[in-house]
Amino acid sequence: MSEIIEPRVLKGFRDYLPQDETARRALMEVLEKVFRSFGFVPIDTPALEYAEVLLGKGGGETDKQVYRFQDKGGRDVALRFDLTVPFARFMAEHVDELYLPFRRYHMAKVWRGENTQRGRYREFMQCDFDIVGTDSASADTDIILLIADAMAALDIGGFTVRVNHRGIFNRFLEGSGLREKSAAVLRLVDKLEKIGPGEVKRLLSAEIGEGVASKVLEFVTKEADFESTLAKIEAYAGGPADDTLRLREIWRNASEAGFPGKLELDPSITRGLDYYTGVVFETSLDAMPEIGSVCSGGRYDELASLYTTKRLPGVGSSIGLDRLLAALDALDKIKRRSGYTQVLVLAIEDGLSPSYHRIARALRAGGIAAEVFPEKRKLAQQFAYAEKKGISLAVILGADEASSGTAQLRNLATRQSVIVNLPSGDASLLVARAGELLAPPLP
Amino acid sequence: MSEIIEPRVLKGFRDYLPQDETARRALMEVLEKVFRSFGFVPIDTPALEYAEVLLGKGGGETDKQVYRFQDKGGRDVALRFDLTVPFARFMAEHVDELYLPFRRYHMAKVWRGENTQRGRYREFMQCDFDIVGTDSASADTDIILLIADAMAALDIGGFTVRVNHRGIFNRFLEGSGLREKSAAVLRLVDKLEKIGPGEVKRLLSAEIGEGVASKVLEFVTKEADFESTLAKIEAYAGGPADDTLRLREIWRNASEAGFPGKLELDPSITRGLDYYTGVVFETSLDAMPEIGSVCSGGRYDELASLYTTKRLPGVGSSIGLDRLLAALDALDKIKRRSGYTQVLVLAIEDGLSPSYHRIARALRAGGIAAEVFPEKRKLAQQFAYAEKKGISLAVILGADEASSGTAQLRNLATRQSVIVNLPSGDASLLVARAGELLAPPLP
């Protein structure tokens, strides 16, 4: 016998056991249903691409975290580190085979060699959705409505989508003579939630002087409602323009559609990335504000300028699946299950195995998930298996039942059994009875 | 403006556009439903693992095709090239956290640097399912029944699952004095379908002499039915033993359960791999036998002996998703769709955008996938978009309709419209009518 290799995964990587994988899938299935109901379609792209395509010709901060290597053909390749860059490449390559405006969603793994000491994983699932090929308030609204309907579908309690517009902030900074300092100002404003207004003001004052710092803090402070906040920042930014009109349209669309949550205008939101040029937004859960945004995004002018001269404006968002899953878990809103089986057919007599399989197949044909315990073992062991797998009912068919043409259906929680007839081995009465026992009680 | 990077994917890799991705997902969703109905649970493992874990300490033929590199921490890592090896590692690592017998399925991407000239892809989806921790005929039966129910659920027409048992073949070879030659004999028998019995006999004769070659060919030839083939090979192998008893049990279990296809005993099936030690099986489609097996597998004694001294016998199978998808496509059994949207709300007047979003949201709440065309464009363009996306109905709400408190619902195939009332903007009549129009006609 050769030496045993230690079974282990790389640091920052993890296995998904059934309890985790079923929960993750339950979340993804809800989201996918919402995406499809809004007309979004799925696409997929390769995990591995030319490094040049993913990283551009320059190379920058991102590069350090990327899994990059030479393949056996000597090509410089890399694992995708997000879904945005491959989507940009995808749109540039396939725009003539598609139709615009194009609404896509993509849920897939990405890889980053992050520092795992910060609790980060090196392999994780991203979930992106975008509408590309239009620069309209209607598309902005759709993304925000989709986020809200997804949160509602997840039954996660109250939530707030906070929006802002980069253009208004830029106009305000310019009007206040802060154009040169805008990077520093945005960086500090971004810390508002984390370090509080007092500290932000102190740091801002050191950067741009106390008077202007006060003005910045007034600008980024929310008023009582969306419309009064909008009126204030419009005034600070020098009056109405396309950007304020855009926010007004989004507000009107979303509120008339019946936005199922709170929609706030929060002038402090900037979403650091240079990439965004229009509306930006974040989503927080009322029950767990401390975990930060579970769904963020914004509008961009040029999705794919690295790969095409064709202008592809769009609006999109990304759901933090891991963060959202952790929240659903903490709020006890997601079912961790070790299996989907509803009925376990026990193995009592080897000679009755054909009957067990016939019964299980009849149950499945009746829409009930059923499995046969695959070998004769002590009943206590088979019940323990059923319990670990969260199975509700057991079919007991031993020599006695076989000779009387019956089977027992046992409720594994109450341990109560009912006897059902199997006339000439026909399982239809058993299937009907199992269906009744599995049906949720009437309210 | 910087230089444009050519948007392209690596050779052997591909993008999935909506038509392809929706078809692939439709297939995977059917399979997943069947897996769950049989009590199988999903797991996931990392795409990237220690090379030593995936490839063992030796290294062999497989290595050449593996994407293997050093990560930034200097670890020797590799992309998984199948789902079997990671599953073995997973079971060895987590067996104490799970329950046995463990039934899992795993649908995920794997990577192999195959020669693309043979039409092979370097990134593809695998689909594996196994029952581990039992050495019973009942588990063997379940895997074969699952394959059959999956084929039936895909509505792919007639199919044949052909089974055999490695043990019977081995007994026969031994009894015929062919133990030393067994590798060569198995290799040639494996070519039976490809090159025909005459050519196999010629090659076999050269290897082991004409007399024994005839005997081998008689052994591997199917008789009229399962039971008479079994009786024949049992006699050739030296009489009844565990292996023939096993095939008898599987046959009895499967036929009594109501196997929804043809189950044949085919003594020529060997499934080259040393890995299998018991039953082996393949699945062919009656309408397309030429594409070969769409689902193959078998029983093994030791899943995880590389990683643990714990004995983990099991039985499992792998579905060739790409091959199956190609077959479903050729048989016109899968829907390639460019979207899921059922109703498109046209953008006619910018000022009515809030109403469009309200109507779309009401449709979605009624279970109808609906999207708002995001900007005002010529109607012809909006209709063309609807056609490309395969959308059935359009909602037309312009200034005239708005002033009369109505909207038009247009069937985009027949181009017929019905007028529906929107009393005070309430879309419930419209939703009900859209539901009627979308419902499939009564048979």
Question: In degrees rounded to 5, what are phi and psi of residue A393?
Answer: -125, 150
Task: Enter the CATH code of domain B343-438.
Answer: 3.40.50.800
CA atoms within a 13 Å half-sphere pointing along the CA-CB vector of B129? 25
Query: What's the confidence (pLDDT) of residue B59?
Result: 59
Q: What CA–CA distance (Å, rounded) separates B279 from B270?
A: 9
Percent pLDDT > 90 in chain B is 84
Q: What CA–CA distance (Å, rounded) separates B11 from B405?
A: 57
Is the confidence at residue B274, as pLDDT, over 80? no
Evaluate whether B164 touches B233 at the Cβ level (below 8 Å): no
Query: What's the confidence (pLDDT) of residue A61?
Result: 62
DSSP string across A82-134: -SHHHHHHHHHHHGGGS-SSEEEEEEEEEE----GGGT--SEEEEEEEEEES-
Query: What's the confidence (pLDDT) of residue A345?
Result: 98
Interface A–B counts its CB contacts (< 8 A) at 332
Q: What class, spelled out in words, does domain A18-330 have in CATH?
A: alpha beta
Question: How wide is the angle at C-alpha B91 spanned by C-alphas B89 and B94, nearest 5°?
Answer: 105
B385-389, long-range: CB within 8 Å, 24+ apart, which pairs?
B385/A99, B385/A101, B385/B344, B386/B344, B386/B412, B387/B412, B388/A99, B388/B338, B389/A39, B389/A99, B389/B338, B389/B339, B389/B341, B389/B344
For the beta sheet containing B48-50, the strands, ordered from the edge strand earlier in sequence to the opposite edge, are: B48-50, B76-79, B68-70
pLDDT lower than 70: segments of chain A: 1-2, 58-62, 273, 441-443
The answer to which of A213-217, A439-443, B164-168, B224-228 has the lowest mean pLDDT is A439-443
A43 chain-B contacts, CB cut-off 8 A: 15-18, 21
For the beta sheet containing A48-50, the strands, ordered from the edge strand earlier in sequence to the opposite edge, are: A48-50, A76-79, A68-70
* Residue B120: pLDDT band with limits 50, 70, 90: confident
Is the minimum CB–CB distance between B257 and chain A shorter than 8 Å?
A: yes
Residues B394-415: what's their mean pLDDT? 96
Is the minimum CB–CB distance between B62 and chain A shorter than 8 Å?
A: no
Test the A interface: residue of B21, B35, B37 with most A CBs within 10 Å: B37
**Partner residues linked to A295 by β-bridges:** A319
Report B:307-326 residues touching A (Cβ under 8 A).
307-309
CA atoms within a 13 Å half-sphere pointing along the CA-CB vector of A236? 24
Eight-class DSSP state of B349 = -
**What are the structural domain ranges in chain A?**
18-330, 343-438
* Residue B194: pLDDT band with limits 50, 70, 90: confident
Is the minimum CB–CB distance between A89 and chain B shorter than 8 Å?
A: yes
Pull the structure tokens for residue A2.
């050769």
A134 → closest Cβ in B249, B374, B389? B374
A42 → closest Cβ in B18, B37, B79? B18
Closest CA to A114 of B90, B80, B71: B71
Q: What CA–CA distance (Å, rounded) separates B81 from B65?
A: 8
Is the minimum CB–CB distance between A402 and chain B shorter than 8 Å?
A: no
A137 chain-B contacts, CB cut-off 8 A: 353
Residues B4-28: what's their mean pLDDT? 95
Eight-class DSSP state of B44 = B
Is the minimum CB–CB distance between A50 and chain B shorter than 8 Å?
A: yes
The CA R_g of chain B, rounded to the nearest whole Å, is 28
The model's pLDDT over B51-61, given as tens digits with 9 standing for 90+, comes to: 999 998 765 66
Please answer yes or no on whether B374 and A97 come within 8 Å at the CB atom.
no
Task: Read off the pTM.
Answer: 0.94
Please answer yes or no on whether A16 and B44 come within 8 Å at the CB atom.
yes
Q: Is B5 helix (H, G, I), strand (E, B) or coil?
A: coil
CA-based nearest residue in chain B for residue A66: B72
Beta strands in B43-101 (DSSP E): 48-50, 68-70, 76-79
For the beta sheet containing A279-285, the strands, ordered from the edge strand earlier in sequence to the opposite edge, are: A41-42, A102-111, A123-132, A314-319, A295-300, A279-285, A159-165, A262-265
Residue B115: CB atoms within 10 Å: 11
CA torsion through residues A231, A235, A238, A239, sign: positive
The model's pLDDT over B18-41, given as tens digits with 9 standing for 90+, comes to: 999 999 999 999 999 999 999 999
Percent pLDDT > 70 in chain B is 98
B131 chain-A contacts, CB cut-off 8 A: 374
Helix and strand counts by DSSP (H, E) for chain B: 15, 16
The model's pLDDT over A106-139, given as tens digits with 9 standing for 90+, comes to: 999 999 998 877 778 999 999 999 999 999 999 9
Query: What's the confidence (pLDDT) of residue A60?
Result: 64
* Residue B117: pLDDT band with limits 50, 70, 90: confident
Closest CA to A409 of A362, A376, A365: A362
Pull the structure tokens for residue B78.
């590799």
Query: What's the confidence (pLDDT) of residue B334?
Result: 84
A5 → closest Cβ in B53, B75, B101? B53
The model's pLDDT over B293-343, given as tens digits with 9 standing for 90+, comes to: 999 999 999 989 999 999 999 999 999 898 899 999 999 888 788 899 999
Query: What's the confidence (pLDDT) of residue A194?
Result: 86
Question: How wide is the angle at C-alpha A17 spanned by C-alphas A14 and A21, nearest 5°?
Answer: 95
- Please state whether B239 falls in left (phi above 0), alpha (psi between -120 and 50) or beta: left
Is the minimum CB–CB distance between A117 and chain B shorter than 8 Å?
A: no
Q: What CA–CA distance (Å, rounded) separates A275 from A130?
A: 14
Q: What CA–CA distance (Å, rounded) separates A257 from A141?
A: 10
Query: What's the confidence (pLDDT) of residue B179?
Result: 87
